[in-house]
Amino acid sequence: MARTYVVTGSASGIGAATAKTLRDRGDRVIGIDLRDAEVAADLSTSAGRADAAARAIELSGGVIDGVIACAGISAPIAKTVSINYFGVTELLEQLVPALQKSDAPRAAVVSSMASLQANSAELVAAQLAGDEAKALEIAETFVVQGPEVGYITYPSSKRALARWVRRESITPTWAGNGIALNAVAPGTVITPMTEQLLATPEGRAMVDANVPMPLNYHQPAQSIVDVLVWLTNVENTHMAGQVIYCDGGADATLRGDDIWSWSD
Ligand code: NAI
């Protein structure tokens, strides 16, 4: 049966490919993006998120079966935490009432293998505490030191998002309402976000030094879409709180074979 999905970042890259895949198989998609979407909204602000959620719920008729949050940026600016963390978490929370009305509600977000990179514990903590003003203040202290230092806003936003998914997925709001909540963490995906960086040998070498991808190298958006779509399918009855590294083996390369010793 056709399902109703909300897809953020639907105008480009992974979000656009997700929306197309869902529409091609007969599902209904309400896209949210800055432009070229059913709902044009700016997810970097609280007002934009509230407006986006209200309009998406209205367009859906009140019942949303799946939410796939792809919108994000990788710029070394403070706004990165507003879009990549609060633009996902606040929006998702506001869509819960409509998800609750579905027979098989699911949500999936896009984190990144960058969640494994050097990040700021203080910035991650401010995001997880839901304190956007403080998070922006901390982010700005890195940004003013230039793009190399300012980049830390990106892995910090993706680390916080991955931790939010694990923390929230098992709560009454999500698991308690039967809503499967998970994340996908891509490696280097060929999209407009990475186009410029991958266009030069120097850019590629820089990316590859940080994102080792022994399995099949740089990935097409569809490799992420297929995981996002499965996570939000009716069939996903028991996967919750997972951050799935679909990254050509970057996570296994970087973290090695022992990620279980926390309980030893
Ligand atoms: P993209 O740049 O092609 O698409 C991102 C979309 O998000 C754009 O349509 C953009 O307009 C939208 N967006 C940005 N700011 C927004 C805002 N304030 N409000 C509403 N929409 C906004 O990028 P791509 O590659 O498709 O990225 C999708 C997600 O995947 C992002 O969260 C990104 O961090 C993540 N990711 C991408 C990787 C890559 O190598 N391309 C690797 C790992 C994660």
Q: Does 261 reside within a domain?
A: no
Q: Does 40 reside within a domain?
A: yes
Q: Does 33 reside within a domain?
A: yes
pLDDT confidence of residue 263: 86
Q: Does 207 reside within a domain?
A: no
**What domain range is 29 assigned to?**
4-187+220-247
Pocket residue to mutate for ligand 1, from 12, 29, 45, most atoms within 8 A of Cβ: 12
pLDDT confidence of residue 23: 98
Q: pLDDT tens, 159-173?
A: 999 999 999 999 999
pLDDT confidence of residue 54: 98
Q: pLDDT tens, 194-212?
A: 999 999 999 999 999 999 9
Q: Does 122 reside within a domain?
A: yes
Q: How many domains in the chain? A: 1
pLDDT confidence of residue 1: 82
Q: What phi and psi, each to the nearest 5 degrees, are found at residue 124?
A: -60, -45
Q: Does 240 reside within a domain?
A: yes
| 245 noted as active-site residue | no
Q: Which residues sit with their C-beta closer than 6 Å to ligand 1? A: 9, 11-15, 33-34, 42-44, 70-74, 83-84, 110, 112, 186, 188-189, 191-194
SS3 40: strand
pLDDT confidence of residue 96: 98
Contacts 24+ apart (CB under 8 A), 11-15: 11/35, 11/36, 11/37, 12/191, 12/192, 12/193, 13/70, 13/189, 13/191, 13/192, 13/193, 13/221, 14/70, 14/110, 14/186, 14/189, 14/191, 14/221, 14/224, 14/225, 14/228, 15/68, 15/70, 15/71
CATH for 234: 3.40.50.720
Residue ranges for the chain with pLDDT beneath 50: none
